[in-house]
Amino acid sequence: MKKFNPLEFFSCFLIIIFIFLFMSFSTSGSTQYRTYIIYMDKSAKPSAFSLTTIGTLQPFLLSSSNGVPPIHLYTYNHVINGFSAVLSPDHLHQLVQLPGHLAAYPETFGHLHTTHTPQFLGLKNHSGLWPASGFGGDMIIGILDSGIWPESKSFDDEGMSPVPERWRGGCESGTEFNSNCNRKLIGARSFSKGIKQLGFNISKTDDYDSPRDFKGHGTHTSSTATGRHVDSVESFGYAKGMAIGIAPMARVAMYKVLFFNDTYETAASDVLAGMDQAIADGVDLMSLSLGFRRPCFMRTL
């Protein structure tokens, strides 16, 4: 008879525990929820299907194995035809079988990029394209970034005409931001459902749950695009001079989609929501100083 070996027994015990845990995690992973951006063919979707609320998905999406329904985040009517939602693997499998489904993109993160300067574009103060364009007069530029400091002199509205009647946007209130819009900064909104769904905690010590900028990147890109003429600008006593944006007479609308938590990150679902709202509000063009890695996706042809 083989002599009992405590070490051998303990090793076998650990292996059994490991296998049990692996099977448990594998089982729980099959019902793990994840955010997806769903691209639909509007002309091919079922007649009873509506993108207005996730509740209308219920006749088409059966409950997942744990009985938890899908969670609706945003509906997209302009930038794409579709919506974003938190789905289980069961929901996703059912969804891709529906008529009208084109693609399902898993939520991805984007990061900040930067911009170039008027010198790079060959713009001159008194000749050429810049003055000929009226310095962007009455253009409405939507900025998707980390928010804005409305008190900056770059967004002063002195001497500017009333807001164009074609503008359909709004100015939200929130943490440290109380509808601080004027004839220059004509709109400000924030979009954070996607990033919050991924467990991102927006607190006043890290960022503002409002259109207000926390670290300054959105204010920087907004002033680069549309900043008014400001004299005697300096950076901690250095590089004193005049600051002016590419289109100083243009209007600016901020769509905050980037939030700070150790690093600036944004969810693709929030960026699409900001873009969709910007189109609905009536912007003439959008500026996004951020980028994403190419996402993998599921497609039904």
Does residue 159 sit in the same domain as residue 280? yes
Closest CA to 256 of 184, 189, 175: 189
- Number of structural domains, the chain? 2
Closest CA to 141 of 264, 216, 229, 249: 249
Strands 298-299 and 109-112: unpaired
Q: Per-residue confidence at 206, pLDDT binned at 50, 70, 90? A: confident
- Who wins on pLDDT, 9 or 119? 119
Q: Per-residue confidence at 20, pLDDT binned at 50, 70, 90? A: very low
Does residue 178 sit in the same domain as residue 54? no
Whether residue 112 is predicted with pLDDT greater than 80 in this model: the reply is: no
- Who wins on pLDDT, 300 or 77? 77
Percent of the chain with pLDDT over 90: 37
Q: What is the CATH number of the domain that holds 138?
A: 3.40.50.200
Centre a 10 Å sphere on the Cβ of residue 254 and count the other Cβ atoms it contains: 35
Does residue 201 sit in the same domain as residue 150? yes
Asked whether residue 19 is assigned to any structural domain, the reply reads: no
At residue 243, the pLDDT reads 85
- Who wins on pLDDT, 148 or 124? 148
The torsion angles phi and psi of 217, rounded to 5 degrees, stand at -65, -45
Does residue 128 sit in the same domain as residue 76? no
Task: For 25-80, write each residue's pLDDT tens digit.
Answer: 333 444 588 899 998 887 764 444 444 444 455 555 555 556 778 888 998 988 88
Highest mean pLDDT among 57-71, 126-140, 172-186, 226-240: 172-186
Whether residue 297 is predicted with pLDDT greater than 70 in this model: the reply is: no
Residue 222 tokens, joined: 């907004």
Q: How far is CA 273 from CA 95, 119, 123, in A?
A: 21, 33, 33
Whether residue 6 is predicted with pLDDT greater than 90 in this model: the reply is: no
At residue 27, the pLDDT reads 38
Amino acid at 24: S
Q: What is the CATH number of the domain that holds 68?
A: 3.30.70
Reduce the DSSP state of residue 46 to 3 states and report it. coil
Does residue 146 sit in the same domain as residue 195? yes
Does residue 93 sit in the same domain as residue 124? no
Of 58-67, 92-101, 212-221, 285-294, which gets the smallest average pLDDT? 58-67
- Who wins on pLDDT, 263 or 201? 201
Asked whether residue 8 is assigned to any structural domain, the reply reads: no
Whether residue 24 is predicted with pLDDT greater than 50 in this model: the reply is: no
C-beta separation of 284 from 253 below 8 A: no
For the segment 105-118, the average pLDDT, to the nearest whole number, is: 70
Q: Per-residue confidence at 293, pLDDT binned at 50, 70, 90? A: low
Does residue 98 sit in the same domain as residue 116? no
Centre a 10 Å sphere on the Cβ of residue 138 and count the other Cβ atoms it contains: 16
Mean pLDDT of the chain: 79
At residue 61, the pLDDT reads 59
Does residue 118 sit in the same domain as residue 253? yes
Domain that holds residue 148: 110-292
For the segment 225-253, the average pLDDT, to the nearest whole number, is: 87
